[in-house]
């Protein structure tokens, strides 16, 4: 049997494997979105792009000073198209004799790539093109084309070559590019371009421009012709583009990738994505809810695509932040210029932590590395400690758009939000060493900032935050925003605990922090039994988004009748065009009250008007309003409502003890069962299934020496290191404590 025939068999089997992607992971359409912003955005934590877009972006590479800093656009040289040609010319899309009118576009979430297929009827040919950022060779972007002849194709009429053309878009205004090597197939070298950004973000923390190297396996400066012998049934070709700050790193990924044959390179990428879905995180939704399951899978994929790959050919660069629209966007104001906000810690991180602690640590490490810049931000404004900027990019200094200076000046809650996220991570991971090494230094500096920013009245023994803005950005320059004050109290108390636990003996410092925490004013209208959003707020005044209602979930600050009234009042006051995660938070919060039946309406509202149907890409605002695309913040809120809202799950700290709470489950509309693989707790990895009448959690513990204790009602049970727990509808909540 000859080698060519064996190769055909191998490739046919390989194609068969690809075709087995479950429907819940396969997004197919014959019609592209009317707005190509809602094409899939793909990434691997190092590089990202939007399919058919004009930009590639690289982790941590920005251009522009201060508020003009934005992700530095690399022309999208991966935007390649192929056509089939013979000696008379090339087939075109408007040639009705040559092509069908229903090209199939497909986003394969499980395998992690985008492809589109087109049939040339007259020529008897199928052309498939696909692209993806490689998940193992993560400096590499891959374009692949497969052209196949149908069995009935007449050889005399067969096309003789493919023509590949590049469509990178206009020149970049962010980089100065220099061609170092044009490449020569005869010599076996590669086209190499060096790019340097043109404007520093802030010289104190970025003394030099960013420098990157872009290597091409083949040059496409001119259209590339690939010979296709008439006797050959199938032809394949690939273009690989590698990008890194170091030319040697980009070159190694390129050379190592090229050592693999066509299908092995693709399969290595697929294996990494399968490892994620099978071993890191996945959700299965059963019932009359395929679309909901697809939306959940797409959300997980788009969120995970912006995170670093944990298994790579070469060591990752430091991760430089998780932006609201991901790594594959950031050149535009609508993409928030690729900056990091509170969205990272409050909306996305609780879901990212379920992917695995290493993913969460990558996200939080970004804040740790920017601590010195945060201290500079505080000092520059006359305060102590660390003030994290409202918008952060490469340097960690303030890069809020010049349009909106009041937002940067007044949304001080972001520093407390970061401290809150550190505490939530500890509550789930029970990682004491990490807490002392990474969390405590941040928590201490944030506490110092909050104390220096507070305005305290000694006679009344009360403290305020004046001239602030809460999450509701429609109301600037207010006093005592209740979310800001509540979050600050939590951050101050966490700093006191972390300092003591980590062996700091500064009693005077802890007393100062605790005193301000105790005195911070939390507004409450006694007559109406609700929390006014800020001093002077009038009931039914329109607000932009979830703000005060967050006191219930995720803050766990208020579970009383006051919180239930907050939900009722602010549901009627929140504007229709509010961002997607707002309605998910109404759902998650109602599910924790005696009026849990109200949650379904808000849960469906939180995704049905925000998810574009073709590739399940999220928008920041409902259809009909202008807003950001690939809105990871909305995805984070939606998945939190599904896991922690309907699932009734939460993690919290009480002293040195961490607790996982299961308060009972409810089911989203048209859903019969939800299975989550996996939920993390301590060193456990838990398979969790919940239905309308019960939930079942099966946990395996990785280390010895620590035990779990379960409390339910008055019953206390010591659990084995590997344990399972069933919670039935109507039973009291279950609390599982990790004993230290």
Rg over alpha carbons for the chain, rounded to the nearest Å, is 27
Residue 584 CB neighbour total at 10 angstroms:
29
What gap in Å lies between CA 28 and CA 495, rounded to an integer? 49
* Fold of the domain spanning 290-642: Glycosyltransferase (1.50.10)
pLDDT at 163 over 90: yes
Q: Give the number of residues written for the chain.
A: 740
What gap in Å lies between CA 251 and CA 244, rounded to an integer? 9
pLDDT score for 95: 55
What gap in Å lies between CA 585 and CA 548, rounded to an integer? 11
Mapping DSSP to helix (H, G, I), strand (E, B) and coil, where does residue 119 land? strand
Q: Where in the chain is the domain with CATH 1.50.10.10?
A: 290-642
pLDDT score for 82: 94
pLDDT score for 153: 61
Question: For the structural domain made of 3-283, what CATH number should be given?
Answer: 2.70.98.40
pLDDT score for 166: 95
Average pLDDT over residues 431-455: 97
pLDDT at 702 over 80: no
- Phi, psi (5° rounding) for residue 103? -55, 140
pLDDT score for 705: 66
pLDDT at 48 over 70: yes
Average pLDDT over residues 151-173: 83
Q: Where in the chain is the domain with CATH 2.70.98.40?
A: 3-283
pLDDT score for 187: 56
CB–CB of 675/687 below 8 Å?
A: yes
Does the bond joining 265 to the residue before it have cis omega, within 30 degrees of 0? no
CB–CB of 354/421 below 8 Å?
A: no
pLDDT at 568 over 60: yes
Tokens 């988004």 sit at which residue? 545
pLDDT score for 93: 60
Laid out side by side, the sheet with 282-287 consists of 282-287, 671-681, 684-691, 694-700, 723-728
Pairing relationship of beta strands 104-108 and 55-58 according to DSSP bridges? unpaired
- Residue 507 to residues 46, 283, 492, 497, Cα–Cα distance (Å): 44, 46, 14, 11
pLDDT at 96 over 70: no
Laid out side by side, the sheet with 211-216 consists of 26-29, 104-108, 113-120, 125-133, 140-149, 234-244, 211-216, 191-197, 175-182
pLDDT band at 507 (very low <50, low <70, confident <90, very high): confident
> To the nearest whole number, what is the mean pLDDT of the chain?
93
Percent of the chain with pLDDT over 70: 94
pLDDT band at 91 (very low <50, low <70, confident <90, very high): confident
Average pLDDT over residues 230-243: 94
pLDDT at 465 over 80: yes
pLDDT score for 740: 72
Q: Which residues, in sequence order, are CB contacts of 549 under 8 Å at separation 6+?
A: 563, 566, 567, 570, 585, 586, 589
pLDDT score for 158: 67
Percent of the chain with pLDDT over 90: 83
What is the pTM for the complete model shown? 0.95
Residue from 338, 54, 65, 51 nearest 172 by CA: 54
Q: Which residues, in sequence order, are CB contacts of 33 under 8 Å at separation 6+?
A: 39, 612, 614, 615, 617
pLDDT score for 9: 43
Per-residue exposure over 231-269, b if at least 16 CB sit within 10 Å of its own CB, e if not:
eeeebbbbbbbbbbbebebbbbbbebbbeeeebebbbbb
pLDDT score for 470: 98
pLDDT at 331 over 90: no
pLDDT band at 13 (very low <50, low <70, confident <90, very high): very low
pLDDT digits (tens, 9 = 90+) for 347-385: 999 999 999 999 999 999 999 999 999 999 999 999 999
Average pLDDT over residues 436-464: 96
């Amino acid at each position: 049997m000859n080698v060519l025939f064996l190769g055909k068999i191998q490739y046919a089997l390989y194609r068969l494997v690809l075709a087995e992607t479950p429907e819940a992971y396969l997004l197919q359409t014959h019609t592209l979105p009317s707005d190509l912003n809602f094409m899939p955005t793909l990434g691997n934590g190092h590089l990202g792009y939007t399919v058919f877009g004009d930009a590639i972006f690289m982790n941590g590479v920005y251009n522009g000073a201060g508020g003009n800093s934005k992700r530095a656009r690399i022309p999208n040289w991966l935007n390649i198209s192929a056509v089939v040609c013979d000696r008379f010319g090339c087939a075109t899309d408007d040639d009705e004799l040559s092509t069908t009118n229903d090209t199939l576009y497909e986003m394969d979430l499980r395998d992690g790539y985008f492809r589109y297929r087109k049939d040339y009827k007259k020529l008897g040919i199928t052309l498939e093109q696909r692209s993806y950022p490689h998940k193992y060779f993560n400096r590499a972007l891959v374009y692949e084309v497969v052209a196949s002849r149908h069995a009935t194709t007449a050889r005399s009429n067969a096309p003789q070559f493919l023509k590949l053309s590049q469509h990178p878009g206009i020149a970049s205004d962010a980089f100065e590019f220099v061609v170092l090597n044009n490449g020569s197939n005869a010599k076996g070298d590669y086209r190499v371009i060096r790019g340097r950004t043109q404007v520093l973000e802030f010289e104190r923390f970025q003394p030099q421009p960013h420098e990157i190297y872009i290597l091409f396996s083949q040059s496409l400066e001119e259209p590339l012709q690939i010979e296709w012998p008439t006797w050959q049934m199938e032809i394949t070709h690939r273009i690989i583009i590698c990008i890194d700050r170091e030319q040697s790193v980009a070159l190694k990924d390129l050379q190592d990738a090229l050592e693999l044959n066509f299908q092995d390179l693709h399969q290595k990428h697929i294996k990494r994505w399968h490892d994620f879905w099978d071993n890191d995180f996945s959700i299965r939704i059963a019932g009359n809810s395929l679309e909901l399951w697809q939306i959940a899978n797409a959300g997980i994929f788009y969120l995970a695509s912006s995170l670093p790959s944990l298994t790579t050919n070469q060591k990752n660069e430091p991760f430089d932040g998780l932006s609201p629209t991901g790594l594959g966007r950031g050149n535009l104001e609508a993409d928030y210029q690729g900056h990091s906000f509170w969205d990272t810690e409050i909306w996305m991180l609780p879901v990212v932590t379920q992917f695995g602690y290493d993913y969460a640590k990558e996200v939080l490490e970004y804040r740790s590395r920017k601590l010195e810049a945060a201290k500079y931000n505080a000092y520059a404004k006359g305060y102590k400690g660390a003030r994290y900027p409202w918008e952060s990019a490469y340097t960690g200094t303030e890069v809020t758009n010049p349009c909106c200076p009041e937002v940067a000046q007044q949304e001080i809650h972001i520093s407390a939000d970061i401290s809150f996220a550190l505490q939530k991570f500890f509550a789930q991971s029970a990682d004491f060493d990490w807490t002392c090494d990474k969390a405590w230094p941040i928590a201490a500096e944030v506490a110092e900032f909050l104390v220096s920013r507070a305005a305290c009245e000694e006679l009344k023994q009360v403290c305020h935050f004046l001239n602030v803005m809460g999450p509701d950005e429609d109301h600037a320059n207010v006093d005592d925003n209740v979310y800001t004050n509540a979050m600050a109290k939590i951050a101050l108390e966490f700093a006191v605990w972390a300092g003591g636990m980590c062996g700091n003996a500064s009693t005077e410092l802890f007393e100062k922090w605790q005193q301000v925490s105790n005195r911070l004013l939390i507004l409450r209208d006694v007559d109406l039994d609700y929390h006014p959003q800020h001093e002077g707020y009038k009931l039914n005044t329109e607000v932009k988004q979830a703000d005060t209602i967050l006191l219930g979930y995720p803050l766990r600050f208020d579970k009383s009748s006051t919180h239930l009234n907050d939900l009722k009042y602010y549901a009627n006051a929140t504007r229709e065009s509010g961002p997607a995660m707002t309605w998910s938070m109404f759902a998650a919060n109602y599910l924790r009250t005696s009026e849990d039946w109200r949650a379904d309406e808000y849960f469906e509202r939180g995704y049905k008007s925000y998810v574009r149907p073709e590739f399940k890409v999220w928008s920041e605002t409902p259809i009909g309003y202008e807003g950001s695309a690939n809105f990871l913040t909305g995805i984070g809120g939606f998945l939190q409502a599904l896991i922690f809202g309907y699932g009734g799950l939460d993690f919290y700290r009480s002293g040195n003890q961490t607790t996982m709470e299961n308060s009972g489950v409810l089911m989203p509309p048209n859903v019969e069962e939800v299975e989550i693989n996996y939920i993390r707790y301590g060193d456990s990895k838990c398979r969790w299934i919940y239905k309308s009448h019960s939930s079942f959690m099966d946990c395996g513990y990785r280390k010895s020496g620590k035990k779990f204790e379960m409390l339910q009602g008055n019953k206390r049970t010591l659990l084995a290191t590997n344990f399972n727990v069933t919670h039935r509808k109507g039973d009291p909540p279950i609390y599982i404590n990790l004993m230290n």
